[in-house]
Amino acid sequence: MTYSARNTLPLFEPVSAVPESVSDGAVPPFVDLVQNFSEFGQPSVQVWEGPIRYLINEFWTSGQRQAHSVHEVSYRACFKPQLPEFFIKRLTKPRDAVYDPFMGRGTTPVQAALMGRQPIGNDINPLSVLFSRPRLEPPAIGEVARRLDQVRWDEGEVDDPELLAFYSPRTLRHICALRSWLIERAPVDRTPDPVDDWIRMVAINRLSGHSPGFFSVYTLPPNQAVSAQSQRKINERRGQTPPDRDVKKLILKKTASLLSDGPVASHPPSLLVTGTAQSTPAIGSGSVQLVVTSPPFLDIVQYAEDNWLRSWFAGIDVASVAIAHHRTEAGWQNMVRETLNELARVVKPGGHVAFEVGEVRNGKVLLERLVWEAAEGLPFDRLFVMVNQQEFTKTANCWGVRNNAKGTNTNRIVILHRH
């Protein structure tokens, strides 16, 4: 059955009658846990729409958002660490494998490592491994300082004058010196020394932003790089000139911040892969206990455009990264179906998938319904859609969206059980 926004019941109005039959079985312990969850005041609200059961509650709150400091790197369209933490805590035990086939900045594998589980991740974007891998085994700040002393800072040459829209000439020379040094020592097609890996990750996250903590003059937030032409317009409008920044000092400052909550827990060796989510032969069949993931939402986020500056620094040809943009619901659903088919291979019987989506196109497309349909016929029990409903969020405020509108204040997670 295909659902549309026109013929469904209002999502948050409970219905009095539960369908006589549900298309899939359920695993009572986890269903009951989510249904009766009342840690923050009340049990979940239950809503049925066709065959889909929704369980709605506040499963993690703004007061819980003090996640481990090592998570604090910027990446567009990423979920909070409390989301994977909720499922890892309840559906796995130490040393179990936890996997994200669309890992982005690596929130799921990093949280898995922090909780002593085996981190497994995949993403089509090679930047994802560069964001994730260093934070699974962070070096000490003293090691980082000593390694930065080896950089030949004064030998840098400006690679692209267009970048002077973002940086002062001196700052850009230092950035180019660090870039050349890292590309020589730690090319992206090899597993590098952990300290070099860490320095590159931090530098990538300091390239551009809207405060003096970044290498650049004031620009958009760090998860979205504008073009050089657009940056010149920002500079003209604000009457600003890129100031000198101390690249080494800013890397050390961010390192200290990321490490301020202490070391990452001991955990099994990680496995991070670059490729499509639909084909991951490096991940063993039946090896994963839990998947927590969130795929790209149709064509809402332009990953190549947002990450061009980071790709330049890392030595990645952004045009060669085959990040798909699904402009139709059918195309997106086909991608999800193929991904779920691969997850059916890697998830062991008794394991779970938590597949987070959002509302797009002003709520006219509810992607969780497309995921629910895509799982039909696969060896999964479709348990329910869990909706984490938040108070007013910073994201909503930034984009001028009213509270609980357009999906910015809720996480919608399709929960599947591998039978």
194-215 pLDDT, tens digit each: 999 999 999 999 999 999 999 9
Q: Are residues 361 and 388 both part of a single domain? A: yes
Q: Which of 8-22, 135-149, 227-241 comes out lowest in average pLDDT?
A: 8-22
Please tell me which residue, 15 or 185, carries the higher pLDDT value. 185
Confirm if 198 and 145 have CB atoms less than 8 A apart: no
Query: What whole-number percentage of the chain has pLDDT above 90?
Result: 71
- 341 with 236, same domain: the answer is no
Q: Do residues 115 and 221 share a domain?
A: no
In a domain, 115, yes or no: yes
- Residue 20 included in any domain: no
Q: What is the pLDDT of residues 211-256, one digit of tens each?
A: 999 999 999 877 778 999 999 999 999 999 999 999 999 999 999 9
Report the pLDDT value the prediction gives residue 301, as an integer from 0 to 100. 58
Judge if 246 and 303 occupy the same domain: no
Domain identity same for 286 and 392: yes
9 assigned to some structural domain: no
Mean pLDDT of the chain, nearest integer: 86
Domain boundaries, position 320 = 28-125+271-418
Measured distance CA(127)–CA(318) in Å, rounded: 10
Residue 9 has pLDDT above 60, yes or no: no
**Two tokens at 397?**
């405020």
Q: Is 134 within a domain?
A: no
Taking residues 39-48, report their average pLDDT: 91
16 found inside a domain: no
In this structure, are residues 69 and 202 in contact, taking their beta carbons and an 8 Å threshold? Answer: no
Q: Which of 258, 285, 314 is the last residue of a domain?
A: 258
Of the pLDDT bands very low, low, confident and very high (cuts 50, 70, 90), residue 15 is very low
What's the mean pLDDT in 132-150? 98
Same domain, 148 and 207: yes
Q: Is residue 403 part of a domain?
A: yes
Percentage of the chain lying above the pLDDT 70 cut: 83
Contact present, 130 and 204 (Cβ < 8 Å) = yes
- The tally of domains found in the chain comes to 2
Q: Which residue has the tokens 């997850």?
A: 343
Between 266 and 319, residue with greater pLDDT:
266
pLDDT number for residue 409:
54
User: What is the model's pLDDT at position 6?
Assistant: 28
Same domain membership, residue 400 and residue 357: yes
**Per mean pLDDT, which of 218-227, 333-342, 352-361, 398-407 is the most reliable?**
333-342
> 3-state secondary structure string, the chain?
CCCCCCCCCCCCCCCCCCCCCCCCCCCHHHHHHHHCCCCCCCCCEEEEECCEEEEEECCCCHHHCCCCHHHCCCCCCCCCCHHHHHHHHHHCCCCCEEEECCCCCCHHHHHHHHCCCEEEEEECCCHHHHHHHHHHCCCCHHHHHHHHCCCCHHHCCCCCHHHHHCCCHHHHHHHHHHHHHHHHHCCCCCCCCHHHHHHHHHHHHHCCECCCCCCCCECCCCCCCCCHHHHHHHHHHHCCCCCCCCHHHHHHHHHHHHCCCCCCCCCCCCEEEECCCCCCCCCCCCCEEEEEECCCCCCCCCHHHHCHHHHHHHCCCHHHCCCCCCCCHHHHHHHHHHHHHHHHHHEEEEEEEEEEECEECCCCEEHHHHHHHHCCCCCEEEEEEEEEECCCCHHHHHCCCCCCCCCCCEEEEEEEEEC
Residues 222 and 320 in one domain: no
Of 19-28, 340-349, 371-380, 405-414, the range with the lowest mean pLDDT is 19-28
Rounded-to-integer distance, Cα 225 and Cα 76, Å: 10
Any domain includes 328: yes
**Better pLDDT: 307 or 20:** 307
- Per-residue pLDDT of 306-324, as tens digits, reads 789 999 999 998 777 777 7
Report whether pLDDT(271) > 90: yes
In a domain, 213, yes or no: yes
Q: Is the pLDDT of residue 154 over 50?
A: yes
Q: Contact, 154 vs 229, CB < 8 A?
A: no
- Boundary residue ending a domain (235, 258, 281): 258
Query: Alpha-carbon distance 24 to 52, whole Å?
Result: 10
CATH (domain of 76): 3.40.50.150
Domain co-membership, 278 together with 232:
no
Q: What is the CB neighbour count within 10 angstroms for residue 402?
A: 11
197 and 284 assigned to the same domain? no
Question: Order of strands across the sheet with 410-418?
Answer: 45-49, 52-57, 380-389, 410-418, 347-357, 288-293, 97-100, 118-123, 271-274
**402 and 296 inside one domain:** yes
203 plus 69 within the same structural domain: no
Predicted local distance difference test score (pLDDT) of residue 28 = 57
pTM of the model: 0.89
110-114, 175-179, 356-360: lowest mean pLDDT where? 356-360
Domain edge (last residue) among 231, 258, 285: 258
pLDDT at 18 over 60: no
